[in-house]
Amino acid sequence: MPQRQHHRGKHPEDAQLFSEKWVPVLREAVADLSFLLSRGYAEKSAQKLVGDHHQLDARQRRGVLGAACADTSLDRRREREVAADQLAGRALWIDGYNLLIGMESALSGAVLLRGRDGCIRDLASVHGSYHRVEETLPAIETIGRLLAALDVTEAVWCFDAPVSNSGRMKTFLEEAATRAGWPWRVELHRNPDQVLTASDGVAVTSDGWVLDRVQHWANLTRAFVESLNPRPEVIDLA
């Protein structure tokens, strides 16, 4: 059987792939890809063109794609962003795995990348199944304390129903919220992205597809990461 992952930390090759010597190349790649996307190039072909030109590894290409965005997307995201200090009294709709895995990655020393839109993204992903790691409970507790400090009226966590163990995560979060008295609701959806974009609340995500379609969003992964002590290293690819 495959070995169970205990941490959300770095991929074995990340220290080399995102080393100091690569950062200028990755920044240039983000600028190139954003340029092409701004001029209507299809995402897949533009990513291949830029990745081939800069001779990027698959993980580097994924990081560059997350950090890049078209000018129109950048303008829209800036216009619809709600600052953390303006969230009191509002309801949040949280992209569950997006926020949770981002915080797990931050706590475990994984590579974190700041994109053109100011969002901080990790390189982890869910492939049909989610497994808790040692950073899961500390991540939830950190998020809970910070959301309480922001005085939001409610936090609705949206998870992918088709992902294995989402039901267990729902129960785990509900139990944590009950113990702490947090105003949380946890929902499972076949397509959480559509739920987030249809909501009139403030979305919490760094998913570019969602950010381009929501009415309001908050950059809370960045706010949470920057609140950690010690603060994790973030590679700025903007």
Q: Domain spans of the chain?
A: 12-68, 79-236
pTM above 0.75, yes or no: yes
Closest to 235 (Cα-Cα) out of 67, 28, 11, 7: 67
Q: Are 234 and 95 in contact (CB under 8 A)?
A: no
User: How many CB atoms neighbour CB 70 within 10 A?
Assistant: 22
pLDDT band at 62 (very low <50, low <70, confident <90, very high): very high
**19-61 confidence digits (pLDDT tens):** 999 999 999 999 999 999 999 999 999 999 999 999 999 999 9
Instruction: Kindly list the strands in the beta sheet with 184-189, ordered across the sheet, starting from the edge strand earlier in the chain.
Output: 184-189, 154-160, 91-95, 202-204, 217-218
Tokens of 205: 């995500």
